[in-house]
Chains A and B, each alone.
Chain A
Amino acid sequence: MNGSTTTTALLAVIQLIGFVVFAPFLAATIKRTKAGLQSRRGPGLLQPYRDLIKWWGKKPLESSASGPVARYAPAFVLGTIVTAALLVPWATSRTPLLGWGDLLVVVGLFAAARFALALAALDSGSAFGGMGSSRDVAISALAEPGLVLALAGAAIAAGSSDLGAISAFGIGQGIGLLGPAHLLAAAAFAIVVAAESGHYPVDNPDTHLELTMIHEGMLLEASGRSLATLIFASELKLAVLAAIFAAVFLPFGAATELAPLPIAFGLVAGMIKMLIVGQGLAFVDASIAKVRILELPDLLGLASLLALAGLAVQVLLP
């Protein structure tokens, strides 16, 4: 019991530090690749860290129309995403906070973060905040079923809704994991990752066109420390989504035993898998146009449909 507590604490600390250090880097590699695909050099890989440090050192400017929600929501948003980060497996197939929450809790934490951010954006008093909130909430309402359904197939196969258990089951399956059900669910989850992390074809993370903004629209009034918190939270959320994708759909490489060497190997393997997911997002960002906003339900419906098909294959053709 004592050992388990120590393990939990140690794993949690390693994973927390890992995510905090790695998340901005992941965002930087996406930017960098995108720039390369547009024949630009792009910002350096340390730029997100510099930005965060710069914003962190500045006092947030609050509009006269905003209230306490806008002030305190960023901390809540970051807190929920950090908690989610400890409920996903990275280096090992054991989540640091084992037994504290499964995939549904992770989805719920994302929803809580979004709710807080939407409230904060409404509270900022800017029309763009309200516009961004309404779009983000509408999109996530459509993306969430896909998110849950895509993971449900794997959960049914593994007999557990714990992301660590799903990952461990996947490792046990070996190459046999890559069946049609798995691939369908992976495709569904990929669309959901793009939607949830504010990437193409749903949202443009680099836009300066106010009227097309979704996630950026909600951040438009944030500044200083609040902005740093929210930007970091969104970078972290992307890393967490990539980690879930890596653990469930590409589980290979994670440690199955709690020994230093496999854990170190698992850390690096997880990082590489997340970078691959990031590169995929960057490639999509650079190669297609954004979907017209009223056609987004079709796209997200497709994600749910793919996930449902995967689930059907999983259940009917075991």
Chain B
Amino acid sequence: MDEVVTNPSFWGLALAIAGAAFACIVAGVGSSVGVGTAGQAGAGVTAEKPELFGKVLILEALPATQGIYGFLVAFLILMFTGLLGGEPINLTLAQGALVGFAGLPVGLAGYYSGAHQGRVSAAGMGIIAKNPGDMGKAMVLSAMVETYAVLGFLISALIVFAIPAIAA
């Protein structure tokens, strides 16, 4: 058993890639749901007041950040494990698991935060439809939800930055 865990094998790398995939997929799904929700509400506002399209677009784009954070963590994992350069480093099962777990914080926090930020953005569409001057308020309300994705991303990124130390 010990040997399986400590010997460098493709399983280690596979776990790292699984973490990258998880971060990118789950955070991306969260953002897709969020942007979708906000976009539907935004289309309603645009139909009534086409001149607000610019503001609607910005509000719709706010829940998109989670997907970007997920992508970034995935990208960093691929880069630090050498997959981007085509020369993957050797990882033991345990090292791979360490790297792979880096995908969880940004993935899960990104999913829930993205989906819910979308709802707040959608509700914010009502604010700008009634009073375009209150755009800033709608944005801040929506950005409150993003906080937790930011924190998840922060932890994920900090773990990924430790990869060279882990792999050494």
* Co-assembled chains A and B: no
Chain B residues packing against A (C-beta within 8 Å): none
